[in-house]
Copies of this chain bind each other. A is one copy, B any other.
């Protein structure tokens, strides 16, 4: 499990005081080779945190030796001092690992605006002790160290045809596309070229993390990274690899959804018979972001009118009076009118399925989201305190 499941990776998680609870808060993952391939996708938010600005430079040559991640502070909107902190973090890791700082990615997560001298000192201390603690069993500690409001560490792995993919993720709020808001590190001992790693990563994230939208809010610090070292010497079938990577990403996506802040329902929105996949995604996201729909699900109310109202705000091709909507298997709306009585729908289970049939084509897409709850409001109003 986790990022040390494949051969040739070491990881560690240490506690530096960034978390007031004394929990693990700095993680490091090192690729021991032989190859040092890296690929990454970043938040599309134009307000990017310092680690994102740094990491986008690091990934340009597609060579990555290590990645340092901290919780307890996003180092975003912290000025020139904050960028220097990120730079020093990479320099410190590079010095200890005897690699180039330009091959060390940095990720931070936590409150925006946090990145003062105390923060810097703790992160640098974490790098020093993290490198000292590196081990081939360190994946679980690393996964724990990146948790913020997460209630569980999130890891996954698959083994196929002699090679393995491992992964860890954190994220429990601010989850929305274009990347879902999260930090994810994926590792593999398959032997991939850089362009192959990049293509597989984009293919996998495009249908997994990019389709998780817990609250419509996009973060400043998102990053999903894939490190590939070819330690097995096995060149994978590229379709099989992309499929396996998608499976790991999907499992991590579901774990993020299931741990979303304050949620009481995990809602899967399946849009079928759309004219295009883009239409299906647009419709699913519009429903996923509709606060009235999300509050209704919280109250176990199969309010299909709010689903149709959300669909109506999109540019997708559909006739509002030809749409079917089912909730947990009961078709409550057919052809834009009432069908089965709402009393037949049991919304008490946490897992909730909403199916939307647009009847304009044969494309489909699945969007994952959560309900809007008292606890969501509470946790996010108290975040800074």
By a beta-carbon cutoff of 8 Å, the part of chain A in contact with chain B is 44-48, 74, 76-79, 111-113, 173-174, 215-220, 289-292, 295-296, 298-299, 301, 303-306, 308-314, 320-321, 333, 335-338, 342, 372-374, 376-378, 380-385
Determine the distance from Cα of A217 to Cα of B296 in the docked complex, in whole angstroms.
13
Query: With a CB–CB cut-off of 8 A, which chain B residues contact A291?
Result: 215-217, 291, 372, 376, 380
Report the bound CA distance from A112 to B290 in whole Å.
15
Can you report 29 A-B residue pairs in the complex whose CB atoms are below 8 A from each other?
A45-B309, A46-B314, A47-B309, A48-B320, A77-B320, A77-B321, A77-B337, A78-B337, A78-B338, A79-B335, A79-B336, A112-B303, A113-B333, A113-B337, A215-B292, A216-B291, A217-B290, A217-B291, A217-B292, A220-B312, A292-B380, A295-B376, A296-B380, A299-B381, A299-B382, A299-B383, A301-B381, A301-B382, A372-B377
**Which residue of B295, B313, B338, B383 contacts A77 across the interface (Cβ within 8 Å)?**
B338
Contact B374 A47 (CB under 8 A): no
A290 to chain B, nearest CB (A): 6
Chain multiplicity (copies): 2
- B308 and A112 within 8 A (CB): yes
What is the bound-complex CA distance between A89 and B342, given in angstroms?
Answer: 28
Residues of B close to A290: CB separation below 8 A: 216-217
Report the Cα distance A112→B377, complex, angstroms: 26
Are the C-beta atoms of A381 and B77 separated by less than 8 Å?
no
Q: Is the pair B47, A308 in contact by a Cβ cutoff of 8 Å?
A: yes
CA distance A298 to B377 in the complex (A): 8
When distances are taken between beta carbons in the complex, the residues of chain B under 8 Å from A48 are: 312, 320
**Could you tell me if A309 and B382 are in contact, using CB atoms closer than 8 angstroms?**
no
User: For A113, what are the chain B residues with a Cβ–Cβ distance below 8 Å?
Assistant: 304-305, 333, 337-338
Return the chain B residue nearest A290 by Cβ: B217
Task: Determine if B215 and A385 form an interchain contact, defined as CB atoms under 8 angstroms apart.
Answer: no
What separation, in Å, do the CA atoms of A350 and B309 have in the docked complex? 30
Contact with A309, one of B218, B301, B305 (Cβ below 8 angstroms)? B218
List 7 additional A-B contacts (Cβ < 8 Å) besides A77-B321, A78-B337.
A46-B313, A217-B291, A220-B308, A220-B312, A296-B380, A298-B381, A377-B377
